Structure 1
Amino acid sequence: MKSLLAWGKIQVSNVDKVILISQFEQKANHQNHLFGLFWEFLSPAIQIIIYYLVFGIRLNGQTIIHSDIPYIYWMLIGIIPWFYISSSIVSGAGSISRNLSLISKTHFPIEILPTIAIVKGLNSFFAMLGLFLILFMSQGFLPTLEWLQLLYYFPCMVLFLLALAVLTSAITVVFRDLQLIINAAMRLLFFISGAVVNVSAHPESLLTKVLSLNPLVYIIEGFRDALLSRGWFFDDPWRMVYFFSFLLIVLLTGIYITEKYESDFVEYI
């Protein structure tokens, strides 16, 4: 627990550094592009338009099973957090290994590297979510009280991604193949995390119960519960307990590995 408190203290004391570096990395990624940072808004807009054309117009607004919600909206609610989740998992896993030279030359707090990887993708996520909400409300889906749950599920998503980044970034330094494994696994996670497939369509089946153990399903379905007004997060307290228990185990394991092998990281340059 002391390690967790010390890690949290480092995060809080370096908030300004995390924000500045994440903004710098965003600008660096687009410095050679004509539209620069505007791609943070243009790229999400293009992706949303493509999915709308393919699934919305092509399927004539077909609804998902047992629901009066058009599939395109159901899918976008899941796929928008998925875009952020997938990019953050990949980026977070390599956050330390990409910066080993920085660690070896300066007294840089290694603990904030995974945090930077998670924070720098938020602009794109907010842009996509904002565009979707405009489209959603223009079709008559007005805000309800359940939308306030976004204030719960968004921190859940960020905290889980951060915990996962802390763990995978430490392991990737000594086992570089993990980065390739994660890249390949994202293709499978895309379908079993509920982004485009209704993994909870048959709640009594064994497969559904197994898939529900995936913390990403909790997050993505949570966004749908909020925006589709399907219920409240406290309606199923055991899932909430399971999610945060899983998150805490992942985070503590990541902190432990980082602390134990931090002094040896520079040997892997």
Structure 2
Amino acid sequence: MFDIYKEMWRKRGMIQSLSIQEIKREYAGTLLGFVWGLVNPLMRIAVFWFVFSIGARAGGPVNGAPFFAWLAIGMVAWFLLNDGFRLTQKSFRSKRSIIKNTPFPIAILPAVQILFSYYIHLILLAVIFVLMALSLQTVSLYNFQLIYYDFAAVMLLLGIGSVTAPLVAVSKDFGRFLDTILVFLFWMTPIFWSADNLGMYEWIIKINPFHYVVQGYRDSFFYDIGFWEQPLYTLYFWILVLVFFLLGNYLHKRMKPIFLDTL
């Protein structure tokens, strides 16, 4: 039932090695190296803070949390989800030369891209964590929930990648459609605004599993809310992840002959 995920587990050493190679390849020939993985997201956080807080004058505290800190934590979670989603759906097509010319265990490619994204995420998260601790002058045990929410994000991305990678390998149009969906998710995930503003319609946003991770980050930093305090929402999230896993395994097995010929 979970054949491709068993293969990922058996090849976990290869996945780690390939993800490190991806990092080296990404920053090869640059003077600052992996530091560029910090520069881009930090600049984007600063720009969005300036636009919404200074330009739009909409930067008041959010449920008691300083807007800049609230925005930064939400965007750190979003960067992981965004990069993982973007890279995993193209993982087969971007590596077609390897797939076509070598007996390569292609099922592991989405996991390689997720781990690559996660390593970069950890560096950014460490920087933001230190900045939050210094600015808020507090560290809570709830902060360590980030381990759980990172695991949840990785599992979600693995399920989504397993579903989308075979489809994008067969159709470039589907890849473009997913790029559009990602833009939609960016604005429909409460990064710059609170879902509390929707009142009785908040459930619409909660259907989006990205919200579970982003809000979980904020709950861990600002509101001291444990994931166990939201049992139904947590159950919904993991059921959705399970559905992605089952569908991804099914599509990979059924579509493998098709996308191998298409690539």
**Residues 1:116 and 2:115 aligned together:** no
Aligned residue in 2 for 1:251: 245
Q: 2:20 matched to which residue of 1?
A: 23
| Residue 40 (structure 1) aligns with | 37
Instruction: Determine helix, strand or coil for the equivalent of 1:200.
Output: helix
- Code of the residue aligned with 1:43 in structure 2: it is N
Q: CA contact under 8 A between 2:149 and 2:213: conserved in structure 1?
A: yes
CA distance in 2, matches of 1:142, 1:108: 48
In structure 1, the partner of 2:93 is 97
Unmatched 5+ residue regions in structure 2? none
For the 8 Å contact 1:101–1:266, the answer to whether it is kept is no
Letter of the 2:235 counterpart = V
Aligned CA distance change for structure 1 residues 61 and 140 (closer, same or farther; 3 Å) = farther
Name the residue aligned to 1:266: 260
Let me know the Cα RMSD of the aligned residues: 2.1
Counterpart code for 2:194: N
- Give deviations 1:58-93, integer Å, cap 9, x for gaps: 78994335x221111111111111112112111111
- Could you tell me whether the CA contact under 8 Å between 2:41 and 2:79 is conserved in 1? no
Contact 1:233/1:240 (8 A) holds in 2: yes
Taking the aligned partners of 2:87 and 2:153, their CA distance within structure 1 comes to 15
CA distance in 1, matches of 2:58, 2:224: 20
Give the whole-Å Cα distance in 1 for the aligned partners of 2:252 and 2:161.
Answer: 11
Q: Deviations over 1:10-55 (max 9, x none)?
A: 1122111111111112221222323233322333443444455555
2:45–2:71: 8 Å Cα contact kept in structure 1? no
Structure of greater relative contact order (alpha carbons < 8 Å, 6+ residues apart): 2
Aligned-pair CA distance for 1:8: 2.9
What displacement does 1:220 show? 0.6
Greater share of helix: 2
Q: Structure 2 residue aligned with 1:127, among 117, 120, 123?
A: 123
1:245 positional shift: 0.6
* Bigger Cα displacement from structure 2, 68-77 vs 34-43: 34-43
The alpha-carbon distance between structure 1 residues 127 and 47, as it changes in their structure 2 partners (threshold 3 A), is farther
Out of 43, 59, 63, which is 2:60 matched to?
63
Residues 44 and 124 in structure 1, CA contact (< 8 A), matched pair in contact too: no
In structure 2, C-alpha distance between the alignment counterparts of 1:244 and 1:122, rounded to whole Å: 20
Determine the structure 2 residue equivalent to 1:173: 169
**Partner of residue 157 from structure 2, selected from 155, 161, 168:** 161
Question: How does the TM-score come out when normalised to structure 2?
Answer: 0.91
Deviation at 1:258, TM superposition (A): 0.4
Equivalence for 2:10: 13
Identity %: 22
Kept after mapping to 1: 8 A contact 2:220/2:226: yes
List gaps (5 residues or longer) in structure 1: none
Taking the aligned partners of 1:7 and 1:113, their CA distance within structure 2 comes to: 11
1:228 to 218, 222, 226: 222
Answer whether contact 2:20 2:116 (CA < 8 A) is retained.
Answer: yes
Instruction: Judge conservation of contact 1:215–1:243 (CA < 8 Å) in 2.
Output: yes
Which stretch shifts more, 56-65 or 191-200?
56-65
Contact kept, 8 Å, 2:189 with 2:210, in 1: the verdict is yes
Instruction: Tell me by how many angstroms 1:253 deviates.
Output: 0.4
Q: Match for residue 194 of structure 2?
A: 198
Aligned length: 263
